[in-house]
Structure 1
Amino acid sequence: MADYRDVNRANWDERVPAHLASPEYSVSQFYADPGFLSGVVRFDTALLGSVAGLRGVHLQCHIGTDTVSLARLGASMTGLDFSGPAIAAARELAAGTGADASFVQSDVYDVVEALGAVHGDVLGAGGFDFVYTGIGALGWLPDVRRWARVVAGLLRPGGRLFIREGHPMLWTLADPGDDGLLVVRYPYFEQAEPQVWDEGGTYVTTDAVFEHNVTHEWNHGLGEIVTALLDAGLTVTGLAEHDSVPWNALPGVMTESDGEWRLTDNPARLPCSYTLQAVRRPLGRLGSR
């Protein structure tokens, strides 16, 4: 089997131009309005609180719209992504808008070493006030425990993780049929082998036709994620579940309102996303929960 990173990178690389041109990413509005924020970050602000004056790192930043949005809230940001074209687009956006954001190309699991090589130890290991991960990121990673150790390695003691992600229950559901029923079909818990998909298109509005349509993805149960963070030396300080996601995750049974999609019929049935926050414990307490 081909390396999952090569397969997924080809998929993401090819979709960068379509995402840059899409109304969903609103790239032109970042240039037109110095106060404009991405819809994802606007949703997050209520729980995120102030990041002014903080050094933040955004894992799996894609084309940088969320990273630039965090910089506009006053943070000094570093974004990382494994896609070269995405990083190039993010750098262009930051330069064109004057955002305090730099970008490094790296696989998630190599981030601590990559930042150390670029910035030295100050911003390599344990140099950040917060780690931010936006929605739709963890599913591309095969090992959530390894991810949690990366997060811990980036944060200073007392530094904070903030992640909003698609709920693992959402990822178990098959696309609704004509009857609109929600059917649990895919694994809830992390599996050694990926779910392999071969699907054209992308999650934004576009007429583009793509050649690289295979992806390798994994689900991670909420308990697995929390336990991984605890074992990596973080204390969970908040966990909120939401009935919405910022894209039409279940076509035909969801309705959009204010940039978020919810089940049309009784949205309280399904947690569609969650926000998790955790703080790195002092170095002498990494073995305790």
Structure 2
Amino acid sequence: MIEAQPSPAAGALRRAVTDNESRAASRHWWDLDADDYQEEHGSFLGDVDFVWCPEGLREADAGLLGEVRGRRILELGAGAAAGARWLDGQGADVVALDLSAGMLQHARAAADRSGVTVPLVQADALALPFATSSFDVVCTAFGAIPFVADSGMVMKEVARVLKPGGRWVFSITHPMRWIFLDEPGEEGLVATHPYFDRRPYVEQDADGVPSYVEQHRTLGDRIRELVGAGFVLNDLVEPEWPEGHDQIWGQWSPLRGRLFPGTAIFVSHLPS
């Protein structure tokens, strides 16, 4: 095993973790952070909207999911499920799934505010509680994929629950962002980490128990995961930073967005 190297942040490092460590850390983190996350980002995401990324690309404009009316759709890592409620309004039959009870509590509150209700399921993306060939479309905007140690297995689970010909679309932090510090300002323009260091970013307590885990894979890794699960890649979308968009979201900012991509959206399908 490669020895973990400390990062500039106290209690943070790059080291290997197990699926169980990732699962426990993600559930605990998002349960605790759900209120703060919604307070900070809820207005940007809306109660009934499908926003793919901090660049503000919306499914209503991009149409990456194709025709959704009458389709059975699963949103993985749905969080407060704004995307699922938007899809419901487009005539889709939607299920929203998330690992975190705290995030699903916000999904119920948003359903009360908006009057749009979709089925909510608390479950692990590595063991989807659905029958084979249950859905026409599976999607996620920054959910599930970055937070599991074996994302290739998530791809296989998605392939299992999709019908032949079904579409799988997911957005993640653009892999090249892992080269730089996680900062929106000029300090975030300096390359500091090797692109090919696939060890996850881990925040842990004094006992070495992970409290937050986020995984890095290269673009090639993601494509190989998709192909290995039987998918065909249709498109790789790298949203550009839009003119006039001045909102900072974590490490996303106009400064960085004008220079290099912050999001990668993979559009794929399962052959008939």
Query: Which range, TM-score by smaller chain?
Result: 0.7 to 0.9
2:156 counterpart residue number? 149
SS of residue in 2 equivalent to 1:242: coil
More RCO (CA 8 Å, sep 6+): 2
Query: CA-to-partner distance for each residue in 1:106-126, whole Å, 9 max, x for gaps?
Result: 111011xx23xxxxxxxx211
Equivalent residues in 2 for 1:35-184 (5 A)? 36-40=48-52, 43-45=58-60, 46-48=62-64, 49-94=66-111, 97-99=114-116, 101-111=118-128, 114-115=129-130, 124-135=131-142, 137-176=144-183, 180=187, 182-184=189-191
C-alpha displacement of 1:187:
5.0
RMSD over equivalenced CA pairs, Å:
3.1
8 Å CA contact retained: 2:180, 2:188: no
Identity rate of aligned residues, in percent? 25
**1 CA distance for matches of 2:181 and 2:124?**
29
SS of residue in 1 equivalent to 2:180: coil
Unaligned runs of at least 5 residues, structure 1? 31-35, 116-123, 200-211, 256-261, 283-289
8 Å CA contact retained: 1:144, 1:224: no
Cα pair distance change 1:277/1:67, threshold 3 Å? same
Query: CA-to-partner distance for each residue in 1:145-200, whole Å, 9 max, x for gaps?
Result: 11110110121000001112220111331145975462333353473x5321369x
SS of residue in 2 equivalent to 1:77: strand
C-alpha displacement of 1:263:
2.5
8 Å CA contact retained: 1:187, 1:219: no
1:236 counterpart residue number? 233
8 Å CA contact retained: 1:77, 1:100: no
**1 CA distance for matches of 2:164 and 2:195?**
32
Q: Which amino acid aligns with 1:77?
A: V
C-alpha displacement of 1:94:
3.2
1:250 counterpart residue number? 251
Unaligned runs of at least 5 residues, structure 2? 1-16
TM (norm. structure 2) is 0.76
1:277 counterpart residue number? 267
TM (norm. structure 1) is 0.72
8 Å CA contact retained: 2:57, 2:239: no
